[in-house]
Chain A
Amino acid sequence: MRDFLSDKAKKLKPSGIRKFFDIVSERKDVISLGVGEPDFITPWDIREAGIQTIKRGYTQYTSNKGLVGLRQEIVDYLRCNYNVDYSVDDTMITVGASEAIDLILRATVNPGDEVLVPDPSYVSYKPCVELNGGVAVSVPCDGENGFKLTRKNLEKVVTKNSKILIFPYPNNPTGGIMEKEFIDEIVPFIIEHDLLVVSDEIYAELTYGREHCSIASVEALKDRVVLISGFSKAFAMTGWRVGYVCAPKPILDTMLKIHQYAIICAPIFSQYAALEGLKKGKLNGYKDIKEMRAEYDRRRKFMHKTFTEMGLSCFEPKGSFYIFPSVKETGLTGEEFATKLLEQEKVAVVPGDAFGEFGKYYVRCSYAYSMKNLVEATERIARFVKGLKG
């Protein structure tokens, strides 16, 4: 019998955290700071809307692009909150933002095309690029500089084959954001090199102290930004699998083509539930999101203070629900730190190199956990760090 696997699939590296995940799973009584989803459950109104959809017998496919009512609400939401202007026709509902990321790369990457990916960032971009025969090129984002994307660092890696820039802000794992002034700094570069910007804004609602600035709101970049977002993080709807993409017409139409064949549509009850979330939010000032954000903010301050007091150099995160302390002072790499920490104190954090080579001396800790858990976990980490120094 022959080997049925495709070369591309075989070449794909397994997830950087797979190995670590397997080790963690075998341990009992581990306090984990390793998850990438909210600890809140979906607000009641939204759940109720989903339930009613099923009760009423809405169990069939929606149109490929998704419920027009939901697309309209999304367009209004983006316009009102982020000054971003897309039409209902150029908006599509996807199975989570994850599908949108996959689709855009499938729609645009030719073999040999280079895709600039900030490093460190979310684990899925590079594999999706490679699955399409593209080349993922890391753009270093310095910890000393808030992990921002800079013209200087982009210039170091851009070539004539560079076609796409992945722009994931607020950022997983670093918690970094790109304020308007820093976006403006790279706009000429993007135009000069004729790049398509894929803006993954899944954490847009979770910024602290400053509202999110979408790169899609930059007039000069009109027609070259694909905006991807969803309901998983801000609305605590990770399991519902509902996200969206807004793109210039030729790109959206091509993504639609692929989506029609591969997926057909996102789940109908998830779409109705998301619609309820947006409608209710509009009426009550997005009360639920604001409450969750306030709670995350409290935990964020606690985590930053605690890691700093431990003597670890730690960037104060401005978005998402992750904190990314450097463990360089301990003399260990992120992976070594995480492994030893797990063995000695039964706390699981994610090694930074899972997110790119420039994450090598960092670990990612999620604060999507109760305060009680965070207090316990950080005490154990502090004890561990003290032990390393002593």
Chain B
Amino acid sequence: MKNLKNQLVELLSENARYTFSQLASITGESLAQVEKAVSELEESGIITKYSAIINTEAMDQENRKVQALIEVKVAPQKLKGFDSYAEEIYSFKEVQSLYLMSGGFDLAIFVEGKNITDIAMFVSEKLSVIDGIASVQTHFILKKYKIEGHITNPNKESERQIIQA
């Protein structure tokens, strides 16, 4: 079962739309086993959500949202550890992802907004004002070359021949 769950995590990360029947064929397990395993993965919170990975590079400019990576340093305070900073920050809807990092800064925040002004407002009015935040550096994403394992604009010339002996 553990091996099956690992396989399913890998497969569903690659393609969340595999049907149970397809998953059963690929893993060589029965339909019932696969359904049970996926159910357990969902219940235990390992699988949190099924969502499409969007290649924003392929969208029209006007439909694209603006995204930024914000590096935050906090001053550790009495009774206020990283977890409590995180709780304050991730409750904002602008925050897509929040990670505690090793290295030169403490928290990496991925935010999304309609435009640059939106994000600037979020940083100045909501983020920087949090008690204990020592520094904030905002980096705007200019171009995405690879998103979650998918190359956005591959070099067509290097494609394989369609058919060979």
CB within 8 Å of B: which residues of A? 15-17, 20-21, 24-25, 30, 32, 34-37, 39, 122-124, 172, 298, 301-302, 305-306, 309, 348, 350, 354-355, 371-372, 375
Contacts and interface: CB of A to CB of B under 8 A. Distances in A.
A309 B26 CA distance: 13
A20 B163 contact: yes
B162 interface: yes
A203 B25 CA distance: 26
Contacts of A37: 160, 164
Contacts of B39: none
Nearest to A30: B162
User: Which one of B11, B18, B161, B164 has the greatest number of beta carbons of chain A within 10 Å?
Assistant: B164
A372 B165 contact: no
A348 B160 CA distance: 14
| Interface secondary structure of B, over-half rule | loop
Contacts of A25: 162
Contacts of A372: 14-15
B45 interface: no
A123 B165 contact: yes
B18 A375 contact: yes
B22 interface: yes
Contacts of A32: 162-163
B25 A34 contact: no
Contacts of B160: 35, 37, 39
Given A305-B28, A371-B26, A36 B164 contact: yes
Contacts of B22: 375
User: Which one of A20, A172, A298 has the greatest number of beta carbons of chain B within 10 Å?
Assistant: A298
Contacts of A309: 25
Contact of A24 (B11, B18, B163): B163
Contacts of A350: 163, 165
26 contacts: A16-B165, A17-B164, A17-B165, A20-B163, A24-B162, A24-B163, A30-B162, A32-B162, A32-B163, A34-B164, A35-B160, A35-B161, A35-B163, A36-B164, A37-B160, A37-B164, A123-B165, A298-B26, A302-B26, A305-B25, A305-B28, A350-B165, A371-B11, A372-B15, A375-B18, A375-B25
A254 B150 CA distance: 50
Contact of A302 (B14, B15, B25, B165): B25
7 cross-chain pairs, A with B, having the tightest CB-CB distances, nearest first: A34-B163, A36-B164, A123-B165, A32-B162, A21-B163, A35-B164, A302-B26
A355 B163 CA distance: 14
Contacts of B26: 298, 302, 371, 375
A122 B165 contact: yes
Contact of A306 (B15, B18, B25): B25
Contacts of B15: 372
B163 A348 contact: yes
A309 B25 CA distance: 10
Nearest to A123: B165
A119 to B, nearest CB: 14
A302 B29 CA distance: 11
Given A302-B25, A302-B26, A375-B26, A21 B14 contact: no
A195 to B, nearest CB: 25
Nearest to B24: A305
A305 B30 CA distance: 13
A382 B22 CA distance: 13
Interface in B109-165: 160-165
A35 B160 CA distance: 8
Given A350-B163, A375-B25, A375-B26, 4 more contacts: A34-B162, A305-B25, A350-B165, A371-B26
A268 B8 CA distance: 44
A335 B161 CA distance: 20
A343 B11 CA distance: 30
Contacts of B162: 21, 24-25, 30, 32, 34-35, 348
A35 B165 CA distance: 7
A307 to B, nearest CB: 11
A355 B26 CA distance: 29
Contacts of A39: 160
Contacts of A17: 163-165
A372 B25 CA distance: 12
B123 to A, nearest CB: 39
B34 to A, nearest CB: 14
Contacts of A172: 165
Contacts of A122: 165
Contacts of B161: 35
A371 B8 CA distance: 13
Interface string B1-29: 00000000001001100100010011010
Contacts of A123: 165
Contacts of A375: 18, 22, 25-26
